[in-house]
Structure 1
Amino acid sequence: MGTRPSMTISVRIERPVRQVYAYLSDPTNFAAWASGLGRLTHQSGNRWIAETTGGGSAEIRFSPQNAYGILDHLVLLPDGRSVPVPMRVIPNGDGAEVLFTLFQIEGMSDEVFAGDADWVARDLAQLKAVLEEG
């Protein structure tokens, strides 16, 4: 299988790193900034079901809360594929930096991958707005 192309997209947020992590570690907040997701319903443990904007749903398994800023999650698609989503919040001065790594999954064209990267960048800009202005 080998490695897949990847891209890490980041955004600076002028809020304390602990505040940013606390917000992001609560899956119910994702709908406020992640445009591809609607309401999330808790299943059990770290398992949630997300309504997607396309009218479907996907299971998401979130990392447990931790002291390291790790927000990794695994998206289980209806077709059986799983998509790892590494995500971190790290200190940046008095604020925070959110890093989101996107992988080009098997069968995804370069154009779709670039479009997904643009989508993630817009979502992270929305996250910044929610946390800094809200």
Structure 2
Amino acid sequence: MISTGRESRHLGVHIDRTVDEVYAYASDPANLPAWARGLGSSIERAGDQWVAQSPMGRVVVAFVPRNELGVLDHDVTLPSGETVHNPVRVIVDGAGCEVVFTLRRQPGMGDAEFERDANMVVADLTRLKELLESARDF
């Protein structure tokens, strides 16, 4: 494997819901504010884009097309114009599933900032788990 010099961390959570249920909920950008607070507190459709108000300012969120593979990759375009690619998978795990987010250290990111981002992702995944496991329907 060729190293790009970038560090990745795979962060996951088991959810006691089916892959289809979790994927259906998590792949809908309108649901992001309920569980992905690290990304933003609100999101709205603006033409053909999803725009969130994040701690960094206005960001554009673009998911890959819905698919049967459990791929929830999404790009977040920051106010600076830089785009961050976020690989996410929903995979079968027994009767439930696991959601795995690959966090990549961005160029110039220090250890403390990388750790802060990892903690925010874990908090978001934990909210997703709690929300979906406590909901009857969504």
TM range (shorter): over 0.9
Identical positions, percent:
43
- 1:75-101: CA deviations, max 9, x gaps? 111112111100010000110100001
| CA–CA separation in structure 2 for the residues paired with 1:44 and 1:98 | 29
Structure 1 runs not aligned, ≥5 long:
none
Q: Give 1:35 deviation, angstroms.
A: 1.4
| CA–CA separation in structure 2 for the residues paired with 1:28 and 1:12 | 22
Q: TM-score, normalised by structure 1?
A: 0.92
Contact 2:90 2:99 in 1 (8 A): yes
Aligned residue number for residue 42 of structure 1: 45
Q: Give 1:126 deviation, angstroms.
A: 0.7
| CA–CA separation in structure 1 for the residues paired with 2:43 and 2:129 | 21
Please tell me whether residue 131 in structure 1 is matched to residue 135 in structure 2: no
| CA–CA separation in structure 1 for the residues paired with 2:133 and 2:76 | 27
SS of 1:105's partner is: coil
Correspondence 1:40-119 to 2 at 5 A: 40-45=43-48, 47-52=49-54, 54=55, 56-119=57-120
Matched residue count: 132
Large movers: runs of 4+ above 4 Å? none
The 10-residue stretch of structure 1 (36-45 or 64-73) with the greater mean CA deviation from structure 2: 36-45
Q: Give 1:2 deviation, angstroms.
A: 2.7
One-letter identity of the residue aligned with 1:128: K
Measured on the aligned residues, the alpha-carbon RMSD in Å equals: 1.5
